Structure 1
Amino acid sequence: MKTKILETATELFLNLGFKSVTMDDLSEHMGISKKTIYAHFENKTDLVDQCTMGLFHTISHGIDCICDLGKNPIEELYEIKKLAYHYLKNEKASPQFQLKKYYPAIYNKLHQKQYEIMKDCVVENIRRGIEMGIYRENLNVEFVALIYFTGVTSIKDESLFPKARFTQTELMDMYLEYHLRGIVTPKGRTILNNIINSNHE
């Protein structure tokens, strides 16, 4: 039952926002009593924390699996982007914004964990790309990794990128291309263009 509650709550939070969904909403949606929910979770903050961390670990595991496939670094980043979009495609209520505003301690914990995972992943991605000759060899690897993480985080800020002007898919596509065009060699540019062209077909 706990797993079912987590799955349902995560879906509702992504669709409606962390603040908007109440424990009453969740119990009514699932057709169970609030007492059943509280048998597994101390309070709503505990539920939000476990949902957030659960989704984080699911996506992190997916990223690890993609990295284990041994794809070239440019393809790897596009596969990770697809994975993230698959899990976050139903976002309709700026869950990151609500998390930051109403559950800052959980947001900060998530942000730090995202940073640790992404930094390691991107640093390794850049190093492999340089070794393969598809990224420029004069890159400052740590700087590029930090800038990439900062950008990925910033495009979720609706005050900077309002949904009325940009969809999340457009932002992810444009940002990834922006990042890669700044670091690829001519050889890497050919791979990148082929991926972009195939995605548009």
Structure 2
Amino acid sequence: MKEKIRETATQLFLERGFKSITMDDLANEIGMSKKTIYTEYSNKTELIEDCVMNKFCSLSDGIDLIIAMDKNPIEELYEIKKYVMSHLNDEKSSPQFQLMKYYPKIYKNVKAMHFNKMQKCVLHNVQRGVQQEIYRDNLDTEFVARIYYSGMNSIKDQNIFPIDHFPVSKLMDAFLEYHLRGIVTPKGKNILNSIINSNQQ
């Protein structure tokens, strides 16, 4: 029961945003009474927190599986991007900024978890890329990992990148290419160009 509520609520929140979905909307979508939902969740905030944390853990596990495949670091970043995008509905409703505005405590918690996860993944990615000579050996790896995290969050701000001018999937591709072209070696550039060309076909 709880899993069905969480799964449906997560889908609705990603499609239409945390603010616009009411408990009545959720009850109608599932086909159960609001009272039944309240036996599992005492309020909407508790439901949102469970949905957000569950989604984060699910994405985190999926990213770990991609990393375990031991692809080259450039390909790994593209695989992670593709995986995350497929599970966030292209973030049409800008859930991150709705969370920040209306549920700041939940946002603060998930942001800290997101930073720690992303920092660890990207730092490891950069270090592997340097070892494999596809990223430049003079990189400050800690700086690169943090600027990547910062940039990835900034492009989600629809005040700066309005979705009608910058569709999310194209924006993510553009940012990833921008990031990688700044750190690759000639060897890495060949790999990057090959991936970009294959994605455009």
TM-score category by the smaller chain? over 0.9
User: TM-score, structure 2 length as denominator?
Assistant: 0.98
Once the two structures are TM-superposed, the CA of residue 92 in structure 1 deviates from its matched residue by 2.5
Q: Taking structure 1 as reference, are residues 127 and 100 closer, same or farther at Cα in structure 2, changes over 3 Å only? A: same
* Secondary structure class of the residue paired with 1:39: helix
After TM superposition, which residue ranges in structure 1, 4 or more long, deviate above 6 angstroms?
none
Output the aligned Cα RMSD: 0.8
Once the two structures are TM-superposed, the CA of residue 51 in structure 1 deviates from its matched residue by 0.4
Amino acid at match of 2:35: K
Match of 2:99? Answer: 99
**Which runs of 5 or more residues in structure 1 are unaligned?**
none
Match of 1:166? Answer: 166
Match of 1:113? Answer: 113
Match of 1:141? Answer: 141
Amino acid at match of 1:19: K
* Secondary structure class of the residue paired with 2:18: coil
Match of 1:81? Answer: 81
Deviations 1:21-66 (A, max 9, x none): 0001100111101111111112100000000011111110000000
Deviations 1:44-101 (A, max 9, x none): 0000000001111111000000000010000000000000110112533221121111
Match of 2:45? Answer: 45
User: Percent identity over the alignment?
Assistant: 57
Amino acid at match of 1:70: D
* Secondary structure class of the residue paired with 1:161: coil
* Conserved 8 A contact 1:14-1:88: yes
After superposition, residues 179-194 of structure 1 pair within 5 angstroms as: 179-194=179-194
Q: Taking structure 1 as reference, are residues 35 and 90 closer, same or farther at Cα in structure 2, changes over 3 Å only? A: farther
* Conserved 8 A contact 2:63-2:80: yes
User: TM-score, structure 1 length as denominator?
Assistant: 0.98
**Which runs of 5 or more residues in structure 2 are unaligned?**
none
Match of 1:199? Answer: 199
CA distance in structure 2 between the partners assigned to 1:175 and 1:34 by the alignment: 42
